[in-house]
Structure 1
Amino acid sequence: MEKLTFEFFGGAPVNATRAPALVGVVGSGNLEVLIEPAELGGACAVEILTAARGFGATWKAVLDDFFTRHKLADVRIAINDVGATPAVVALRLDQAVEDFLGGGA
């Protein structure tokens, strides 16, 4: 397993009382995404545990695209991955933020 961490800044803080959102299933070729509020001084922190080693640049590109579309702050995102494609990662991230923000993403 490889552990990757990223931080993004410049987003809008979310309500700290929001319930966490969990989407996806950890299984062959898939992943799960957990989004939860966290006091991070205006940052959005992302931690990824992945079975696919050596794809840090690909993860960064997918997350850059996600953060461009969803400017979040004071949010922690945890991803558990077993080899999902970038398209599946983007889909799960979008699903998680939509659930987290109550369909208002």
Structure 2
Amino acid sequence: METLHFRFEDGTRRIAAPPQLVGVVGSGNLEVLIEPVPLGGACEIDVKTAAVGFEATWQAVMADFHARWQLADTRIAINDMGATPAVVSLRLDQAVETMTGGTP
């Protein structure tokens, strides 16, 4: 297992909803826990993944996600069992849409 941490500053979209869990950890899938927390306008994402050695790919997917949503004061925890980047993006979008009811 590998643990990665990403932090994006100066988000503009705050969410005000109870924490949400989206997805299921299983063969080739992942779960996303998203929750509002005071982080001085930042968005923090912690990833625990079985796919070791893909930090650059995770960085690209997380940067793309942050560019779409611009979340502030949000913590996201991802538990991954080898999901593809497309599935990661889908689950992240589903988690935010569950919290906001909207699109980027």
Question: Which whole-Å deviations, capped at 9, do the CAs of 1:73-102 have from their partners, x for residues lacking one?
Answer: 10000000000000000000000000011x
Which residue identity is paired with 1:75? T
The 5 A counterparts of 1:3-18 are: 3-15=3-15, 17-18=16-17
| Distance in 2 of aligned mates of 1:51 and 1:92 | 17
Could you tell me which runs of 5 or more consecutive residues in structure 2 were left unpaired when the two chains were aligned.
Answer: none
Runs of 4+ in 1 over 2 A off after TM superposition: none
Question: Given the two structures, how large is their TM-score scaled by the length of structure 1?
Answer: 0.94
Q: What is the CA-CA distance between 1:65 and the residue it aligns to? A: 0.6
- For these two proteins, the number of residue pairs brought into alignment is 103
The 5 A counterparts of 1:8-87 are: 8-15=8-15, 17-87=16-86
Which residue identity is paired with 1:37? P
Could you tell me which runs of 5 or more consecutive residues in structure 1 were left unpaired when the two chains were aligned.
Answer: none
Query: Over the residues paired in the alignment, what is the CA RMSD in angstroms?
Result: 1.0
Task: Name the SS of the counterpart of 2:28 in structure 1.
Answer: coil
Question: Which whole-Å deviations, capped at 9, do the CAs of 1:6-62 have from their partners, x for residues lacking one?
Answer: 0001212524x4211110000000000011001111110000000000000000000
| Distance in 1 of aligned mates of 2:9 and 2:61 | 16
Identity of aligned residues (%): 65
